[in-house]
Structure formats: structure tokens, C-alpha cells
């Protein structure tokens, strides 16, 4: 499994949710079968080889560790229920900034290659800007009490999360990112 595949699978666990039980008593007592700390452990496992190849991945690695540490107590419903909307945003900030810096570093790797890898530079550069919006938009919505924009903010966040995972899987074979290179297609004998 390549480092970008590990990161993408970890982010699927972090972004995804599989709550149980179906009808909890009390209503807030739901658990997530996809624990975020496990997802962050996969992200860290993918970032370590990237950091050895490109030292600029040190900051996203540190933020992934921080996001993993923040997610440990939030996995417990008894602690998560005490967070209001602004507390939830503050707790999710390391995740958004980690995704932002991860996308920016991958874009930078694509830009410095000879010839430049335009796919990496453009797609991940745009995703970096998208995660900047995802990190700041909830603060604007909550601070200005723009309740009509809450669903739009969540939709943008989910869309950018899916786009990041998709592009990580699409770019995982790049040798500049510890991938094995393009797959050889051998003609069939027959």
C-alpha cells in the first residue's frame, strides 16, 4: 500500500461516520464504529515515508498527530455532547489545517518536478484553497449567526473531503510521492 493510499484510507475513516446504536438512550449516547483516532493513525503512517523523502511534510505530520490526539476524547459521547457549535469548530480546526497543508505540500511537490506534474500542482493547489475556506467559513457562519449558510458550509466541507480522498487515490502511484510508478500493461497472449 502506498503512502497516499494510507492517507486516503485514514481520511475515509476520519470523514466517515457509522454511529450505533440505532436508538440510543439517552439520545446523545451514540458511538462511532469508525474511530477517528484509528483514521489519524493511518494518516500518520502515510505521512512518515513522505516526510523522509520531502522534509516539508513535517508540518502536516505534526498536525495529523495533533488532530489524532484531539480526536481521542471526542470519540467518547460523554465528552462530545458538551461541545457547542463553536467548540466543535475549534476541535475540527487541526483536521482542516492538516488537510490544507497536505494538499499544499503535494501541489508543491508537483510544481518542482522537471517537467512539472500539472495534475498534482493544479488539483492539490485548488484543494489547498478549498480547505482554507473550509477552515474559516464555519467561524464566519457562527460568528455572524448566519444559520441559513450552515447547510451550505457542511455541503462544501463534505464535497472537498471527498475530492481530497479521490485525488489522493488518483495520485498514489507517483514516484515523487513514494509511489511505485505507472503500472505496466502487458498484452495478452493468445
Note whether residue 120 is domain-resident: yes
Note whether residue 54 is domain-resident: yes
Report how far apart, in Å, the C-alpha atoms of 190 and of each of 111, 184, 187 are. Answer: 43, 18, 9
How many whole angstroms separate alpha carbon 33 and alpha carbon 30?
10
Q: Has residue 189 got a pLDDT over 80?
A: no
How many whole angstroms separate alpha carbon 46 and alpha carbon 77?
28
Note whether residue 187 is domain-resident: no
Note whether residue 186 is domain-resident: no
Note whether residue 74 is domain-resident: yes
pLDDT on residue 68: 97
Note whether residue 188 is domain-resident: no
Domain span including residue 63: 3-177
Residues of the chain with pLDDT > 70, as a percent, come to 99
What's the mean pLDDT in 54-82?
A: 94
Cell digits of residue 40: 489519524
What's the mean pLDDT in 60-72?
A: 97
How many whole angstroms separate alpha carbon 162 and alpha carbon 155?
11
Q: Phi and psi dihedrals of 19, rounded to 5?
A: -80, 145
First to last CA, the chain: 32
Note whether residue 190 is domain-resident: no
Give per-residue pLDDT as tens, 16-49: 998 888 888 887 788 889 999 999 999 999 999 9
Q: Has residue 58 got a pLDDT over 70?
A: yes
Q: Phi and psi dihedrals of 32, rounded to 5?
A: -105, 120
**Domains held by the chain: number:** 1
How many whole angstroms separate alpha carbon 100 and alpha carbon 130?
8
**Is this prediction's pTM over 0.75?**
yes
pLDDT on residue 185: 76
How many whole angstroms separate alpha carbon 70 and alpha carbon 130?
23
What's the mean pLDDT in 63-88?
A: 92
Note whether residue 184 is domain-resident: no
pLDDT on residue 29: 82
Q: Has residue 115 got a pLDDT over 70?
A: yes
pLDDT on residue 190: 63
Handedness of CA 152, 155, 161, 166 (dihedral sign): negative
CA-based radius of gyration for the chain: 18
Give per-residue pLDDT as tens, 154-176: 999 999 999 999 999 999 999 99
Give per-residue pLDDT as tens, 116-159: 999 999 999 999 999 999 999 988 988 888 888 889 999 999 99
Amino acid at each position: 500500500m502506498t503512502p497516499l493510499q494510507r492517507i486516503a484510507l485514514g481520511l475515509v475513516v476520519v470523514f466517515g461516520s457509522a454511529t450505533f446504536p440505532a436508538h440510543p438512550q439517552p439520545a446523545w449516547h451514540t458511538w462511532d464504529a469508525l474511530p477517528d483516532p484509528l483514521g489519524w493513525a493511518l494518516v500518520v503512517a502515510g505521512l512518515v515515508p513522505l516526510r523522509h523523502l520531502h522534509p516539508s511534510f513535517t508540518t502536516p505530520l505534526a498536525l495529523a498527530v495533533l488532530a489524532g490526539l484531539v480526536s481521542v476524547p471526542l470519540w467518547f459521547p460523554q465528552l462530545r455532547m458538551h461541545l457547542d457549535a463553536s467548540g466543535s469548530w475549534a476541535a475540527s480546526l487541526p483536521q482542516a489545517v492538516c488537510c490544507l497543508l497536505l494538499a499544499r505540500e503535494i501541489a508543491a511537490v508537483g510544481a518542482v518536478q522537471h517537467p512539472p506534474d500539472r495534475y498534482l500542482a493544479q488539483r492539490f493547489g485548488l484543494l489547498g484553497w478549498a480547505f482554507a475556506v473550509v477552515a474559516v467559513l464555519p467561524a464566519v457562519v457562527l460568528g455572524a449567526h448566519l444559520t441559513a449558510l450552515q447547510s451550505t458550509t457542511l455541503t462544501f466541507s463534505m464535497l472537498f473531503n471527498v475530492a481530497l480522498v479521490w485525488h489522493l487515490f488518483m495520485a498514489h502511484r507517483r514516484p515523487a510521492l513514494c509511489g511505485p510508478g505507472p503500472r505496466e500493461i502487458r498484452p495478452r497472449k493468445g
